[in-house]
Amino acid sequence: MSDCGDEEDPIAADYAAAVDAQTGDGWEPARLPAQHIVESDESETLSETPPARERRKIAEDRFHKAPVVVKYPSDRAGEEISDQHSLSSEQRYSNALGKSSNIYTPFTSKMDWEFARWAKLRGSGSTAFTDLLKIDGVVEALGLSYRNSAELNTIIDEKLPGRPKFTRSEVVVSGEVFELYSRNIIECVRALFGDTEFAPYLFVVPERHYADQDKTIRLYHNMHTGKWWWSTQKAVEKDNPGATIIPILLSSDKTQLTMFGNKTAYPVYMTIGNIPKEIRRKPSRRAYILLAYLPTSRLGHIKNQAARRRSLANLFHACLSFITEPLREAGVTGISIASGDGKLRRGHPIVACYIGDYPEQLLVACVKTGSCPTGQTKHDDLGDGDLKCTLRNLSEILDALDTLDEGGTRYTQACTDAGIKPVVHPFWEKLPYTNIFLSITSDILHQLYQGIIKHLIQWLKESIGEAELDARCRRLPPNHNIRLFMKGISHLNRVTGREHDQISRFLLSLIIDVQLPGAFRLCALWRHFDVPFNAVPVFQRIKFTTSDPYAKRGTADSVVDSIHVQPQKVLQNGDIVPGRFDTALVNMGNGNKTGTEGYRIAQVRVVFTLPEHLAKTVFPPGIMPPKHLAYVEWFTAFKPQPEQHHLMYKVSRTLKNGDRLASIIPVGNIRRSIHLLPKFGPVAPSQWKSHMVLDQCSVFFANPWTDRHAYATLY
């Protein structure tokens, strides 16, 4: 199974390629023979109506313009407290360190600080670091203020200002004590809102964005453009004009820490919606804070399963109630809070979103498994596209929760009638301006990305059979951005998000020309010269890198694309590594950053440097060729429009007098690698192999799904 994208050891890559070749040549189960295909008049022809690509371009072009912005009507929304000003976050940080002329405080010198920074960001483990410092003379020679990893950790924890510290609390369930580690949520809000790096980008006032001047097409992107912030601002402004809404985004997920045993953690994270999403999504910007570690016990001492499930739900909500309790008053009256530039505002921290997978959504919403976490749709009606999902009635649910003092039987019946489980005091019960059923977000990873791919694979298995599906996977050509599943995909279980991402990059190619029941289908001037290549230096790979000064392995972490030009070789153990000659997108001289105009696909056969003495025999005096050249074999030019049904461009070999048309071009004209998907027909030919399919197949489709740049170029 070949991975893509990461730089790897060449020897290991050769052995992996040899194993893939052996797997591809192995036994395959019998497959159904092809039947006569009933062709339709519109099959593989250009549409006479405007193609979907052009329609999409017209729709997307309006988003390239600046939106029409409607400000919140109140001038006081998000206002500063004019008569007060706070210190900037840098000033507060400096004051926390104390007055000192040493800019590297609490470290004694630049060397002391640099070595500590290296140890924590780029160094080895704590044990190896301690062993290094134990070497006689190292600490003295470098002038370090610490002698082992523990002392360095003490300096960082106790002498450097940082995010709010954790506190330990105890939770007692049926006589057993459990530990809860949490941070003060208000202090976490202050830390995020007051970060200097975020100060220029903070949103403090809601807005409505439109794509057109008539204000008919609403745009939603960052949180301040949504309906929730606008309506919440309006509700808070009724009693407290001049408020700055601080949307709280919570997320949790119980995580397995080890492959064996039962070591788990239950982290709760938080961020604020005032920070733009393009910053929040980058871990290096530290826009999320680890808010708490919830107890992970399964409450095994409670033997009754129903009682155990109720206790686990009550434990979860009791812990979150303790964590979010400071928001009850702060959300109503507000708190004085400073941004990173020292501007002071009255902020109202309000829980706006809760992010979690489906089991977590059920736990938060207090509903039963199989139900919709946010709506009243019944289990048997889920998936019905014609049925409108009505949001759960928060008022009725809160009324049911108020019956707790009337006894367990009455409380259970009231909760059942309201459509929730009888959880004692859910954490969201007393949070102001919070409707938890509006706050739960869609599970994009599991329900959308992985969910759709999972169902699509199952549909393919039922439609064409597992044997044919896996046979097509084994016959895809390799590419830097593609992972080859040489054993197929039908047998996979516990598929990760990354594997689903890789499968989705070639899944469409597996259904082109698929045979369904009833035998229907789905959906320049070239200069020639002869140079003996055994007389020139040749290269076996073209790498496309991006500069990253923080890469741990130098350029190895920066390889974003590569083109292999490797002849067949035999390893020491006798295994054969098949030759690999990747296909590339070549700039014909007038290509733009995106789009197919001015580009053509070619298979790179040789990359070489022409020695000066040979260059003189080929080029006129005074003209020197580029340092690196490539011998390529051409595919047909892109058509004006892609194929009608799947919007992929179809190409084939360019022949001249029965031979492949080839040229020698500068390597600088090669823009990137391109993955070609073979046109399988009703049944993938059994003689086709992954490492030879570029020579065995005659018609291909250019794959736009390998990465974002390929999508922008080809789709």
Residue 14 resides in a domain: yes
Over 50: is that where the pLDDT of 18 sits? yes
Compute the CA torsion angle 106, 112, 116, 119 (nearest 10 deg): -170
Closest by Cα among 83, 426, 72, 435 to 233: 72
Give pLDDT, residue 50. Answer: 46
Both tokens of residue 315? 């434990």
Question: Distance between CA atoms of 691 and 476, rounded to whole angstroms?
Answer: 8
> Do both 132 and 248 map to the same domain?
no
Burial class, 345, CB count within 10 angstroms (exposed 0-12 / middle 13-18 / buried 19+): buried
Over 60: is that where the pLDDT of 574 sits? yes
The residue with greater pLDDT, 365 or 647, is: 365
Domain enclosing residue 116, as ranges: 107-159
**Can you spell out the DSSP letters for 42-78?**
TTT---SSPPHHHHHHHHHHGGGSPPEEEE-S-TTTT
Helices (H) and strands (E) in the chain — how many of each?
Answer: 22, 30
DSSP H or E run through 229: helix 227-239
The mean pLDDT of the chain is: 85
Residue 44 resides in a domain: yes
> Do both 172 and 145 map to the same domain?
no
Closest by Cα among 519, 185, 513 to 327: 185
Question: Distance between CA atoms of 474 and 484, rounded to whole angstroms?
Answer: 7
In the chain, the number of structural domains is 3
Q: Are 421 and 364 in contact (CB under 8 A)?
A: no
The residue with greater pLDDT, 310 or 88, is: 310
The residue with greater pLDDT, 390 or 610, is: 390
Query: For 531-570, what is each residue's pLDDT tens digit?
Result: 444 445 666 777 776 554 444 444 445 677 889 998 888 8
First-to-last alpha carbon distance for the chain, in angstroms, is 28
Give pLDDT, residue 364. Answer: 97
What value does the mean pLDDT take over residues 25-35? 62
The residue with greater pLDDT, 492 or 20, is: 492
Q: Check residue 195 and report its DSSP letter.
A: -
Question: Distance between CA atoms of 248 and 620, rounded to whole angstroms?
Answer: 70
> Do both 126 and 168 map to the same domain?
no
> Do both 179 and 153 map to the same domain?
no
3-state secondary structure of 187: helix
3-state secondary structure of 639: coil
Both tokens of residue 56? 């999409």
Question: Distance between CA atoms of 270 and 290, rounded to whole angstroms?
Answer: 7
> Do both 16 and 135 map to the same domain?
no
Over 70: is that where the pLDDT of 31 sits? no
What value does the mean pLDDT take over residues 520-535? 41
Over 50: is that where the pLDDT of 330 sits? yes
Give pLDDT, residue 380. Answer: 82
Instruction: Label residues 184-212 b or e (16+ Cβ within 10 Å = b).
Output: bbbebbbbbbbbbebbeebbbbbbbbbbe
Residue 651 resides in a domain: yes
Over 90: is that where the pLDDT of 83 sits? no
User: Confidence band (pLDDT; 50, 70, 90) for 454?
Assistant: confident
Give pLDDT, residue 43. Answer: 42
List, in order, residues 6 or more apart from 597 with CB less than 8 Å away.
Answer: 590, 591, 638
Residue that terminates a domain, selected from 128, 143, 159: 159
Closest by Cα among 427, 355, 439, 424 to 392: 439
User: Confidence band (pLDDT; 50, 70, 90) for 494?
Assistant: confident
Over 90: is that where the pLDDT of 67 sits? yes
Q: Check residue 521 and report its DSSP letter.
A: E
Residue 405 resides in a domain: no
- What type of residue is 496? T
Both tokens of residue 350? 């309000």
Both tokens of residue 255? 């995580």
Q: Check residue 280 and report its DSSP letter.
A: H
> Do both 570 and 681 map to the same domain?
yes
> Do both 218 and 245 map to the same domain?
yes
Residue that terminates a domain, selected from 118, 141, 159: 159
Query: For 181-240, what is each residue's pLDDT tens digit?
Result: 999 999 999 999 999 999 999 999 999 999 989 999 999 999 999 999 999 999 999 989
Cross-strand pairs, 607 = 539, 630
Over 90: is that where the pLDDT of 145 sits? yes
> Do both 208 and 149 map to the same domain?
no
Query: For 238-270, what is each residue's pLDDT tens digit?
Result: 989 999 999 999 999 998 887 776 789 999 999
Chain length of the chain: 715
Residue 176 resides in a domain: yes
- What type of residue is 468? E
Residue 63 resides in a domain: no
Both tokens of residue 229? 């912030």
Closest by Cα among 288, 302, 293 to 320: 293
Give pLDDT, residue 3. Answer: 43
> Do both 266 and 147 map to the same domain?
no
> Do both 137 and 282 map to the same domain?
no
3-state secondary structure of 323: helix
The residue with greater pLDDT, 122 or 440, is: 440
The residue with greater pLDDT, 38 or 405, is: 405
Asked which of 33-37, 94-98, 382-386, 593-597 is least confident by mean pLDDT, the reply is 33-37
**Strands (DSSP E) along 526-657, which ranges?**
538-539, 541-545, 559-566, 569-570, 576-577, 580-581, 583-587, 599-609, 628-634, 650-652, 655-656
Over 70: is that where the pLDDT of 410 sits? yes
Question: Distance between CA atoms of 148 and 125, rounded to whole angstroms?
Answer: 12
Give pLDDT, residue 25. Answer: 67
Question: Distance between CA atoms of 589 and 671, rounded to whole angstroms?
Answer: 11
Question: Distance between CA atoms of 469 and 200, rounded to whole angstroms?
Answer: 52
Query: For 654-704, what is each residue's pLDDT tens digit?
Result: 998 889 999 989 998 999 999 999 999 888 998 999 989 999 999 999 999
Cross-strand pairs, 336 = 346
Query: For 604-632, what is each residue's pLDDT tens digit?
Result: 999 888 777 777 777 777 777 788 889 99
3-state secondary structure of 38: coil
The residue with greater pLDDT, 521 or 631, is: 631
The residue with greater pLDDT, 316 or 566, is: 316
Asked which of 379-388, 430-439, 551-560 is least confident by mean pLDDT, the reply is 551-560
> Do both 583 and 661 map to the same domain?
yes
> Do both 281 and 260 map to the same domain?
yes
Residue that terminates a domain, selected from 144, 159, 174: 159
Residue 407 resides in a domain: no
Question: Distance between CA atoms of 704 and 715, rounded to whole angstroms?
Answer: 6
ω into 106 cis (within 30 of 0): yes
Percentage of residues of the chain with pLDDT beyond 70:
86
**Strands (DSSP E) along 155-225, which ranges?**
167-173, 176-182, 207-210, 218-219
User: Confidence band (pLDDT; 50, 70, 90) for 26?
Assistant: low
What value does the mean pLDDT take over residues 274-296? 95
Q: Are 464 and 473 in contact (CB under 8 A)?
A: no
Residue 528 resides in a domain: yes
The residue with greater pLDDT, 260 or 430, is: 430
Query: For 84-121, what is each residue's pLDDT tens digit?
Result: 666 776 777 777 777 778 889 899 999 999 999 999 98
Give pLDDT, residue 46. Answer: 42
User: Confidence band (pLDDT; 50, 70, 90) for 530?
Assistant: very low
